[in-house]
Amino acid sequence: MRNLLALPLLALVPLATDAQEPPTFGAEVGLVQIEVRATDGEGQPVTDLTREDFVLEEEGETQHIEAFQFVAGPRAEATHVMVSEPGASPVAPRPKGADQQPTWLYIAPEVQRPVEFARVAGPLRSFIEGLPEGFLVSLAGLPFTDNRALLLATLDRMVHDPLASGTAVVDPLLDQQDDLAFEREVFAALQRQNGVLTSFVGMHRDPPKAPDPRDMSSLVSVERIDRQLIFYGELALLRYLDLIERMAAFPGKKMILLCRSGLNIEGAHTELLDQIAATALRHRVSIFTLDSRGLEATVPVEDRRVSNPWASSRRSRTPEPLGLPVARNQGVNGLVTLARATGGRSVVDSNDASAILQEVLDESADYYVLGYAPRDPRESGRFRKLRVSVSRPGVELRAPRGYYERKPYADQSSQERSAAAYRALLSESLADLPVKASVSFFAAPEGRTAMVFSAGVRPGDLAAKKGQKPQLEATVLVRVRNQLFESMPVILEQELSPDVRREFLETAAADATLYLTYNGRVDLPPGHYSVKVLFRDDRSGRMGTFESSVEAPDLSGSSVPSSLLLTRQATPHDPSSKEDAEPGAGTRPGDLLVVGDLRLSPEPVRTVRPGHVVYCAYHLYNATDEDFAVAEEQGMQMGLLRGQEWVGADEVNAGGQALPDREAGIIRYVGWVDTEKLPPGRYTVLAVLPNYQSRQVPELTGEFELLP
């Protein structure tokens, strides 16, 4: 897909067009709505049934049908199309008494190669040019619209620039998944070879060698690759679950057309697939799938020899004759399974992309909507069995056999809770639980940039366990994604369960500076990234997110400063301990923030109370001789602003020092500001860089707020 983990907030709001406002379909509170299709013996739709013709049963009990509609959507058959006047759009005749509902079609192109989408684009263009009345279409997450000119222009842009931001159709994750599938088959073939190669006279197997820690191949196994492939599939399904939830509020028929290069669904995805099916049925959303690869000619047998699987290049490799066709079939089966689970249709092993669009048109027309209020309104995740019948003979019905109720958070399994959290991490922005976060950048080994972050929530916002030690329980998810290349994001997960006293919670409720925090570090190539943090209260299920765009600077140049870190958190550190003095020497987030005899830790907010000491620190990498001379002579040069006014030296107790390390080429700076004498307000700390006269940016800045 375009990006599984970085789905932008979908603009699921129709654009203003010249068309009339689509009619709304009212729904009563607690009303369950199901779609029923009726056909005669020849497969033609039966359009004249009434409410009295239907019998609806739930768990064997007849239900009163409180809402009834027949929906005559657009038709695709030419025999049913009539034109009211020259130049008018084709309009399908509607049976007497039929209602018209809007049809929402979300088209999701998620292909591996641009040529795959080019094959699909032609039928899509024809479909859009003859877009039926009542259809609202979203291309790749853009706003829904029935404006044909706008849709065609967007389609052209997607074809000519398939990697363009916002309308990208090529999913880089599919290449990575394909690489994994290839590597898995290579290792599986080697395992099969080792399994059948037995010792006999005149031949012996080489003695096993101890694994070389420098050899990456010793760290890879078929089982480990399988776990990664399962994760890729899970991310895809989570995206579709989120999309179904987002489309739930729309009235009328809702369909998703997924044009994808296969979809691997494993046994581990069963529970998530059930959740997708239940959610789609409850919200009347169907997924139609098209294997964008179409029919591919393959060589039946190839003589393939791999001496070193890690040295093989994806561009130069050829398919393994036995394993990769199996992987392709699995991807095809996944598309079929997803469509069937949601009541949609699938077209695979075919170069006729127009067939799936015909299925979409057929599904949007001539169906009945039955609504009833269950006698038992309680929802605990049970499956409610449905049976729909008609009194008229010779009529065949296609209706859902049942649905799953919503499941309260307390009754959800750990997998269901995890799926909901990951789904929110991938796309949703939640404000139910306020989350704060801060990010700083320092140099890391091999020319990378270390992103040091801190995220937190107020302890009083969490549901505490009752007792003298009211334990808090929270789960934190962090997603870091490259905004330019949309590559596989970094995802961190951490469980927090601190024991606190009741007095602390009472204090924290009134103190805006106290947070339950999670600190971490991620080493990244320089570039533009989006950072998203999700906190979930594991007792109540409340979730909240924080999201921001950041730029990881390139710190490999000459005389380049890190960002300025402001924090109250500082602990003593033994300067004689050298193991974590170098950038990136350890894995703990504090390793980069050891300055002299202090170890600093980041905080999610920069809010303090009078009497707190605010520490500030930064590094200067690849410092020049002139930089060292200024640092050794003048130390750390700082300034403090309250609003737009300078704070005089006699008004505040502040200071700083420089710690040059000529051997490493680094100057570490640390400063402090004692807030005891300062009045409340917002303050700006300025750390002046050495030789600032010759720099384009002469200083680093950071802000903190001093509360009363």
**With 70 as the cut, is the pLDDT of residue 318 above it?**
no
The mean of the pLDDT values for the chain is: 77
**With 50 as the cut, is the pLDDT of residue 588 above it?**
no
- Over residues 394-410, mean pLDDT: 85
Contacts of residue 167, Cβ cutoff 8 Å, sequence gap at least 6: 139, 140, 142, 154, 157, 158, 161
Domains in the chain, ordered, with CATH? 1-34+101-195+218-365 (3.40.50), 429-554 (2.60.40.1470), 557-708 (2.60.40.10)
CB-CB contact of 466 with 529 (8 Å): no
- Over residues 566-593, mean pLDDT: 64
Strands 61-63 and 54-58: antiparallel
Quote the CA–CA distance of 489 and 173 in Å, as a whole number. Answer: 10
Q: What DSSP state is assigned to residue 515?
A: -
Cβ count near 656 (within 10 Å): 18
**With 90 as the cut, is the pLDDT of residue 450 above it?**
yes
Quote the CA–CA distance of 277 and 383 in Å, as a whole number. Answer: 12
At 155, give phi and psi (nearest 5°).
Answer: -60, -40
pLDDT (tens digit per residue) in 618-630: 999 999 999 999 9
Burial of 44 (0-12, 13-18, 19+ CB in 10 A): exposed
Q: How confident is the model at residue 223 (pLDDT cuts 50, 70, 90)?
A: low
Q: Residue 577's pLDDT is what?
A: 59
At 158, give phi and psi (nearest 5°).
Answer: -70, -35
3-state secondary structure of 220: coil
Q: Residue 202's pLDDT is what?
A: 40
CA nearest neighbour of 333 among 249, 244, 414, 273: 273
pLDDT (tens digit per residue) in 227-242: 666 777 787 888 888 8
- Choose between 650 and 484: higher pLDDT: 650
Exposure pattern of 602-638 as b/e (b: 16+ CB <10 Å)?
A: bbbbbbbeeebebbbbbbbbebeeebbebbeeeebbb
CB-CB contact of 559 with 624 (8 Å): yes
- Choose between 82 and 540: higher pLDDT: 540
Strands of 512-665 (E only): list them.
516-524, 527-537, 543-552, 560-561, 565-567, 569-572, 594-595, 598-601, 607-608, 613-621, 637-642, 645-646, 653-661
pLDDT (tens digit per residue) in 34-91: 889 899 988 888 989 999 999 999 999 999 999 898 988 554 333 232 222 333 333 3
Contacts of residue 113, Cβ cutoff 8 Å, sequence gap at least 6: 170, 261
pLDDT (tens digit per residue) in 142-179: 889 999 999 999 999 888 888 776 677 887 667 666 66
Quote the CA–CA distance of 325 and 396 in Å, as a whole number. Answer: 39
pLDDT (tens digit per residue) in 264-308: 787 778 888 888 888 888 888 999 998 888 755 443 333 333 333
3-state secondary structure of 370: strand
Q: How confident is the model at residue 226 (pLDDT cuts 50, 70, 90)?
A: low
Handedness of CA 555, 560, 566, 571 (dihedral sign): positive
Maximum mean pLDDT: which of 116-125, 380-389, 653-662: 653-662
At 665, give phi and psi (nearest 5°).
Answer: 75, 25
Quote the CA–CA distance of 686 and 689 in Å, as a whole number. Answer: 9
CB-CB contact of 187 with 222 (8 Å): yes
Q: Residue 148's pLDDT is what?
A: 92
3-state secondary structure of 46: coil
3-state secondary structure of 126: helix
